[in-house]
Structure 1
Amino acid sequence: SIVYTLYDRYMVGGAMPVKKALLLETADDLKSDYFLERREMGMINVGGPAVIETADKVFRIGHKEALYLGKETKNVVFKSADPKKPAKLYINSAPAHHKYPSRKVTLKEADVVVTGTPEASNHRTINKLLVNSVLPTCQLQMGMTELKPGSVWNTMPVHTHNRRMEAYFYFEVPEKQGICHFMGSPDETRHIWMKNEQAVLSPSWSIHSASGTSNYTFIWGMAGENLDYGDMDVRYPDTLK
């Protein structure tokens, strides 16, 4: 399933093929002959080994590996290599105006940043997978942040970026644990409790941060005006309301 949003016309969804292959079909909202006629797509596999077929290529995507599909990619089919260990493909898509090559990206190829501290409970590894320091895209960016044991805060201090929207997908949340995701204007914040393998949208004016009752992993995806990962308007905790 996939959701079409009006935040930079971003789409968020997932595919979990088990015994049968899943064909990526176009959606009525797109008014296109096929899904990627005017769009690009990124996905990160959070399940078992996946096989992604297109009209001219076959990609094998392992756990926590990413795949970028460029504009005009046709006949996209999702499969699981082993039905007993089905793939779980978290998918993001954005409009595209140039055709860039499709490409698989592994964790070894990621642009990796280790940041935060145990003292601040935000020690984490940021794996930039589908970003312009790794491969060219039109506007889509995706990556994965893994919190170290004992750390629970992500994206603190918080920020907004009026040039881009963002979506978070939380996973590896232990049983009976949860994520308190903070959102809204920095001067009027709200929160929403998230469970394992759930996604949340963040418009460009909203903060996006969270604290968990355990450490966890999340996938972030962005699209909008630019590809500058560091383009953020930071707000420190003592200024939030």
Structure 2
Amino acid sequence: MEKTSSGGLNVIDRDGVYGVLAEDGTFSPVYRVPEEASPPGTPRWTSDLGEHVWDSCVAFVRHAERPAHFLRDSDGIGVTDLTDRGREDARRLGTLLKGYDVSLSSSPVPRCVSTCVSVAEGLGRDLPVERREEVGGYGTALYLDGYAGHVYREPGTTAVLGNLSGRPIEGWHPLEECVRRMMDVILPFLSREGVLTLCVSHDLFVAQLVGGTVGRFPSDRWISYLDGILVCRRGKETYVVWEGEEHPYAG
């Protein structure tokens, strides 16, 4: 059964798979309904860290696994924390980052802060977590307070897909402005010589940063838990790394 959603894009639920239907009839799956946990694995960006030369780096990533709230009334989702598996995955991520000088910055939402805390546990360090509303809250990509619960009761995924296709939806800045605002938060971290700053945000923010800098969305996959993009400085050059490829960022 196909159910067309509102918001400008032809986004449908086809037999429990949520995705985009192109004009030529091609269906690109984005999410399964209900949400399924991401399979265990190592985020690609962790290997990219060692394969690319940088003087300072920001990993802008989605939080670890949380209980599913996809396609539900989203009131209260801001207080959702991690599952036990999510905490364990974040601790494992921390072990992979040993050897780096790591700094932690987070959206103030509990699941993001808990991700940072668990990463620090995996690192074996007592690291402070800098809570920044701009990393994953109102004021960057998302500007309308109360958006999730009161304005748009379909998944925020639809809004992001709209933005990435040049059709912004109420509550979100247009893509170019989203990217500029997020980079305004990220770029100052690159003044930290030799430091890897882990910024833990949300899939809706990561997807727009990827799409706006690399141009890879919509696609046939979404942003998995702990998935992310690197923003790096090498000398005076700034570039992003997504799935092993460098892309210059000129601002």
TM-score by length of 2: 0.29
- In terms of fraction of residues, the more helix-rich structure is 2
Select the structure that is richer in strand. Answer: 1
* Higher relative contact order (Cα pairs below 8 Å, separated by 6+ residues): 2
